[in-house]
């Protein structure tokens, strides 16, 4: 059994805890349930110096939230007590950690994340003596991010609310929040233009999918060659116009000898917002789509033809996401993952001396000046000043800090004031 202890050090008795996890393969939950809010310190249920304790035997894909709302946010929760607050909802400030501990693995995985926003901070202590957290109080951290990301004083990314306790709380939305993504991603539109003008040739080797747990036919790894600009022609049968293509990949012998596989990206699929967000609402075209699940009927695997206007993150969601994603889809997704990672880190060259790029071969990477110019500053600031991370595929960039607490231990989560001078004491690097 693993025990969680939440310590409310915000001074706000109205603090919410929200629990969200996959019930399949979770068991022994005590003191919480999926998609539920609690206010343990409200109305004197617990004194502010008392911890709220809950536990479980095993937990699958858990996200454990702590948040403060204004009066509007409190009314929203009261009206929808089993619904998560939306990322772009202005009426709350909070944070969360991710925790999975499965009986099949006999191992726990824990991390804190700030891909979408920075608000309330926690400090974590594990029963094995390890700890994790942030290097600065939340208020200072937010100010540092505003400077690092070159946000103006009138930025709409910073939200301030008056909590139900009458105290002001702030959060900073990140580049994945559509309402403010344009404030962050202009450099990446410029970057795409520079790479295209340089005609930088790309090479990305896909993942193998043997024993991956994905559906459909297992596949080996294949080499995808990427070309910026329009192809000379397209395979027949698509609604895609070649004039709309900005980048395309080709792989030989991918699903069978003599068969080429193509990935085409339009500016709907690849632009500043989707690079920093790691996904898109469409804009990717795959041919021939060897095996893929029909989103409207996940039990049916489609074969052949075009997969049109699909998301960059062409994978399933939900409790059975792994099994409901075919090996072919996972292979394509691995190519896009490496592309997005490389763009976020400024790895792809824009000069004649750096006009070929192979993912994983640092000798082909862009100059230090190019990498510095096009680095994802949101993620860079977060990873440099905390145990958290701030971009999609941070694990692929080796920037995701993951902890493995004892499966039968205790995790103490201290939810901190935004100006708490002791915030840094929880950071693993302090």
Residue by residue, pLDDT tens for the chain (430 residues) are 999 999 999 999 999 999 999 999 999 999 999 999 999 999 878 999 999 999 999 999 999 999 999 999 999 999 999 999 999 999 999 999 999 999 999 999 999 999 999 999 999 999 999 999 999 999 999 999 999 999 988 999 999 999 999 999 999 999 999 999 999 998 999 999 999 999 999 999 999 998 888 988 899 999 999 999 999 999 999 999 999 999 999 999 888 888 899 999 999 999 999 999 888 989 999 999 999 886 666 667 888 889 999 999 898 877 778 888 899 999 999 999 999 999 999 999 999 999 999 999 999 999 999 999 999 999 999 999 999 999 987 666 666 789 999 999 999 999 999 999 999 999 999 9
Phi/psi at 326 (5° precision): -75, 160
The rounded radius of gyration (Å) of the Cα atoms in the chain is 23
Q: What pLDDT is attached to residue 398?
A: 62
Domain boundary among 351, 373, 395: 373
**283 and 220 together in one domain:** yes
Q: What pLDDT is attached to residue 397?
A: 60
Report if residue 239 sits inside a domain. yes
Nearest to 59 by CA among 34, 94, 85: 34
Q: What pLDDT is attached to residue 162?
A: 99
Domain that includes residue 232, residue range: 186-373
Residue 287's alpha-carbon distances to 85, 204, 312, in angstroms, are: 38, 17, 14
Dihedral of alpha carbons 315, 321, 322, 326, sign: negative
**366 and 382 together in one domain:** no
Q: What pTM, to 2 d.p., does this model score?
A: 0.91
**311 and 417 together in one domain:** no
**216 and 309 together in one domain:** yes
Cβ atoms of residues 250 and 318 within 8 Å: no
C-alpha span between 124 and 187 (Å, rounded): 35
Q: Assess whether the previous peptide bond of 10 is cis (omega < 30° from 0).
A: no
Q: What pLDDT is attached to residue 301?
A: 80
Three-state DSSP class for residue 43: helix
**197 and 115 together in one domain:** no
Structural domains of the chain, count: 2
Report if residue 180 sits inside a domain. no
**117 and 208 together in one domain:** no
Tokens 């071969």 sit on residue: 361
Report if residue 303 sits inside a domain. yes
**354 and 272 together in one domain:** yes
Report if residue 53 sits inside a domain. yes
Report if residue 181 sits inside a domain. no
**390 and 346 together in one domain:** no
Domain at 129, CATH number: 2.60.110
Three-state DSSP class for residue 211: coil
Q: What pLDDT is attached to residue 407?
A: 97
Cβ atoms of residues 236 and 255 within 8 Å: no
**120 and 61 together in one domain:** yes
Q: What pLDDT is attached to residue 202?
A: 99
Cβ atoms of residues 361 and 252 within 8 Å: no
C-alpha span between 215 and 294 (Å, rounded): 12
Report if residue 119 sits inside a domain. yes
**340 and 244 together in one domain:** yes
**270 and 404 together in one domain:** no
Q: What pLDDT is attached to residue 317?
A: 77
Residue 399's alpha-carbon distances to 4, 111, 312, 347, in angstroms, are: 26, 12, 21, 15
**102 and 75 together in one domain:** yes
């Amino acid at each position: 059994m693993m025990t969680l202890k939440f310590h409310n050090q915000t001074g706000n008795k109205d603090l919410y805890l929200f629990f969200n996890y996959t019930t399949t393969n979770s068991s022994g939950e005590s003191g919480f349930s999926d998609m539920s809010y609690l206010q343990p310190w409200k109305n004197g249920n617990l004194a502010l110096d008392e911890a709220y304790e809950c536990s479980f035997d095993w937990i699958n894909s858990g996200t454990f939230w702590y948040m403060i709302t204004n009066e509007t946010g409190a009314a929203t929760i009261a009206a929808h007590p089993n619904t998560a607050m939306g990322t772009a909802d202005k009426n709350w400030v909070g944070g969360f950690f991710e925790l999975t501990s499965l009986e099949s693995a006999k191992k726990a995985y824990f991390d804190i994340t700030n891909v979408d926003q920075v608000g309330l901070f926690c400090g974590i202590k594990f029963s094995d003596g390890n700890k994790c957290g942030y290097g600065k109080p939340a208020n200072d951290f937010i100010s540092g991010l505003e400077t690092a990301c070159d946000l103006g004083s009138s930025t709409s990314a910073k939200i301030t609310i008056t909590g139900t306790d009458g105290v002001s709380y702030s959060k900073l939305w990140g580049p994945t929040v559509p309402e403010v993504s344009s404030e962050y991603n202009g450099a990446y539109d410029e970057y795409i233009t520079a790479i295209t003008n340089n005609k930088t040739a790309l090479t990305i080797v896909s993942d193998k999918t043997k024993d991956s747990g994905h559906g459909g036919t297992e596949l080996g790894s294949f080499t995808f060659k990427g070309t910026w600009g329009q192809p000379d022609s397209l395979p027949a049968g698509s609604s895609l116009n070649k004039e709309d293509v900005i980048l395309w990949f080709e792989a030989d012998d991918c699903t069978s000898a003599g068969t080429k596989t193509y990935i085409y990206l339009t500016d709907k699929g690849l632009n500043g917002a989707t690079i920093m967000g790691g996904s898109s609402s469409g804009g990717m075209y795959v041919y021939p789509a060897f095996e893929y699940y029909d989103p409207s009927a996940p039990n049916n695997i489609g074969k052949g033809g075009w997969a049109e206007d699909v998301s960059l993150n062409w994978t399933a969601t939900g409790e059975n996401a792994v099994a409901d994603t075919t090996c072919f889809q996972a292979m394509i997704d691995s190519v896009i993952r490496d592309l997005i990672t490389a763009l976020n880190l400024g790895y792809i060259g824009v000069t004649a001396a750096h006009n070929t790029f192979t993912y994983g071969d640092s000798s082909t990477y862009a100059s230090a000046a190019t990498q510095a110019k096009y680095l994802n500053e949101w993620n860079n600031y977060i990873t440099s000043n905390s145990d958290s991370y701030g971009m999609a595929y941070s694990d692929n960039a080796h920037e995701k800090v993951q902890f493995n607490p004892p499966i039968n231990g205790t995790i103490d989560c201290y939810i901190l004031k935004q100006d708490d001078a002791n915030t840094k004491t929880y950071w693993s690097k302090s």
